Copies of this chain bind each other. A is one copy, B any other.
Amino acid sequence: MAGYRLEDLAERFGLTLRGDPARRVLGVGTLAGASAQQLAFMANARYIAQLRGTHAAAVVLGADAAAECPVPALIAADPYLAYARIAALFEHAPATLPGVHASAVIEPGASIDPAASVGAQCFVAASARIAAGAVLGPHCIIGPDCMVGAQTRLVARVTLVLRVRIGQRVLIQPGAVLGGDGFGLAWAGEHWEKVPQLGGVRVGDDCEIGANTTIDRGALDDTVLEDDVRLDNQIQIAHNVHIGSHTALAGCAAVAGSARIGRHCLVGGGAGVLGHLEVCDRVTITAMTLVTHSIREPGEYSSGTPLQVNRDWRRNAVRLKQLDSLARRIAALEKGQPK
């Protein structure tokens, strides 16, 4: 019979079941939308009202919320993680057969493992290598001296330009461009001259790279992502950046040339890191913050101003331009010398 019994899910994922062990789930859904055949989860107390009204078959949640659950509960130490693992049972990736699609263009000399899959209209350059179990969706370009590791999946239309080495089990979304020229210019008195970009890009194992994200190749050394780095969409990684393991960057973040970001960091959406800076391990940067100096202490860092109604914002913004003089006037008042 289809689906999974709650009892079996509890055992498989080490959860505590409260409720009917024989109940079956056929899929997953939100607290508000799940049917009586679907499993929901609650990982955030703000959804407590939705929990109380849920019609799900069961809910994955923390012990503290179990008493509020009107349906069977699967109690987890980390409900979001437990949900993620259960949900994976219901994800049906399109099957990909090994082999090269007839419409792909493979230059002579390219090395493609027989257990790799190369999709429609891909282009693979002479000196490229594709390892066993790698999957290239349609329209990927694998340029000279590029390598795609085992079990790595390029969803579709990914471009590896030059000297890009991708590790194992990496996932890259469409539109990503890795190994483009770093932006290196020297001013020659009357015009710009291009600085050759002789390095490459190295991406470790288990990384994820979002749609339309760009990672330039290094000027001399490589641009590097260590293992388990997670990049969202539309991120810009400039040449010679180095990003440590387990660091995650949210959409539209950007890191300028030769900056070095540590391990276990979280960079918020639209945040920027200036060139040549160092950010140590376990740093969180909030959304749209600009990092203008190196960070040597773990912690959370921010810049920017609070959201306001435009009329109020304008009034305060005028004062921002007077801030230094306001500070001097305060000092003068303190000395008893107004103005």
Contact = CB atoms under 8 A, between A and B. Distances in A.
Interface of A: 28-30, 33, 46, 78, 80-81, 83-85, 87-88, 90-91, 94, 101, 103, 105, 119-121, 123, 125, 137-139, 141, 143-144, 155-157, 159, 161, 171, 173-175, 177, 180-181, 183-188, 191-196, 198, 206, 208, 210-212, 214, 216, 220-221, 228, 230, 232-234, 236, 238, 246, 248, 250-252, 254, 256, 269-270, 272, 274, 276, 284, 286-293, 299-324, 326-327, 329-330, 333-336, 338-339
A191 B265 CA distance: 12
A174 B304 contact: no
B78 A186 contact: yes
Contact of A141 (B157, B290, B300): B157
Contacts of A94: 125, 144
Contacts of A137: 141
B307 A198 contact: no
Contact of A319 (B212, B228, B302, B324): B324
A287 B286 contact: no
Contacts of A256: 250-251, 269, 287
Contact of A186 (B29, B84, B306, B321): B84
Given A157-B141, A171-B181, A220-B28, A333 B324 contact: no
A306 B317 CA distance: 6
Nearest to A80: B186
Nearest to A46: B276
A232 to B, nearest CB: 4
B198 A214 contact: no
Contact of A196 (B88, B125, B171): B88
Contact of A272 (B30, B230, B269, B326): B269
B307 A183 contact: no
Contacts of A330: 326, 329-330, 333
A321 B303 contact: no
B174 A155 contact: no
A234 B234 contact: yes
